[in-house]
Structure 1
Amino acid sequence: MERTSGRAAVPSWVIFWTGKRGSASHMTEEISITQFLARSATIPVIDVRSPSEYSRGHIPGAVNIPLFDDHERKVVGTQYKKVNRETATLSALEFAGKKLASMARDGQKIAGSRKELLLHCWRGGMRSKSMAWLFETLGLTCFVLEGGYRAYRRHLREALKNPLRLNVIGGRTGSGKTELLHYLRQEGAQVVDLEGLANHKGSAFGSLGEAGQPTTEQFENDLHRQLSQLDPAGEIWIEDESRNIGRCVIPEEIYSQMLESEVLFLDIPREERARHIVTHYASYDPEQLRSCILKIERKLGGDRTRDALDFLERKDFFSAVMITLQYYDKSYLYSLEKNHGKYRMIPSDRVDPVKNAVRIHQYLQTAHDDLA
Structure 2
Amino acid sequence: MIKTITINEFFLLPIGTPLADVRTPAEFAHGHIPGAFNLPLFSNEERVVVGTTYKQVGREEAILLGFDLTGPKWSGFIKQALEVAPDKKIAVHCWRGGMRSGAMAWALDLYGFEVYLIQGGYKNFRRWALDQFQQQANVVVLGGRTGSGKTRILQELALLGEQVIDLEDLAQHQGSSYGTMNKMIQPTQEQFENNLAFQLKDVDGTKRLWLEDESRNIGRLTIPTPVFNQMSQAMLIDIHVDLEQRVRALTLEYGLLDKEFLTTCTSRIHKRLGPVQTKQAIAAINEGNMEEFIRIVLVYYDKTYHKDLGKRNAENVFSMNITSAEIAENANQILIFIKNISAKTLA
What are the residue-to-residue correspondences of 1:1-372 with 2, within 5 Å? 28-39=2-13, 41-113=15-87, 115-340=88-313, 342-349=316-323, 351-370=325-344, 371-372=346-347
The answer as to whether partners of 2:182 and 2:261 remain within 8 angstroms in 1 is no
Residue type of the alignment partner of 1:359: Q
CA contact (8 A) 1:49 1:64 kept: yes
Structure-2 separation of matches of 1:351 and 1:289: 26
Structural RMSD (CA):
1.5
Residue 243 of structure 1: how far off its partner (Å): 1.2
Q: 1:340 to 1:66 in 2, by over 3 A?
A: farther
Per the TM alignment, residue 344 of structure 1 is displaced from its structure 2 partner at its CA by 1.4
Conserved 8 A contact 1:45-1:117:
yes
- 8 Å CA contact retained: 1:117, 1:141: yes
Letter in 1 for 2:281: A
Structure 1 unaligned residues grouped into runs of 5+: 1-25
Deviation of 1:353 (Å): 2.0
Amino acid at match of 2:266: I
Letter matched to residue 334 of structure 1: K
Give the counterpart letter for 1:330 in structure 2.
K
| Cross-structure match for 1:15 | none
1-side partners of 2:235 and 2:202: how far apart? 24
Specify the SS of the correspondent of 2:12. helix
TM-score of the superposed pair, with normalisation by structure 1 = 0.89
2-structure distance, mates of 1:123, 1:349: 54
In 2, are the aligned partners of 1:200 and 1:213 still within 8 Å (CA)? Answer: yes
Q: 1:297-319: CA deviations, max 9, x gaps? A: 11111111111111111111111
Query: Per-residue CA shift, 1:102-146, capped at 9, x if unaligned?
Result: 111111221112x11100011111110100011112110111111
Amino acid at match of 2:290: F
Distance 1:352 1:339 in 2: 29
Residues 176 and 352 of structure 1 are in contact (CA less than 8 Å); yes or no, is this contact kept in structure 2? no
What TM-score does the superposition give when structure 2 sets the normalisation length?
Answer: 0.95
Q: For the pair shown, which has the larger CA radius of gyration, 1 or 2?
A: 1
The separation in 1 between residues aligned to 2:34 and 2:140, in whole angstroms, is 26
- The aligned counterpart of 1:8 is none
Percent sequence identity over aligned pairs: 38
Query: In 2, are the aligned partners of 1:108 and 1:138 still within 8 Å (CA)?
Result: no
Alpha-carbon distance in structure 2 between the residues aligned to 1:159 and 1:321: 38
The unaligned stretches of length 5 or more in structure 2 are none
Deviation >6 Å, runs of 4+: none
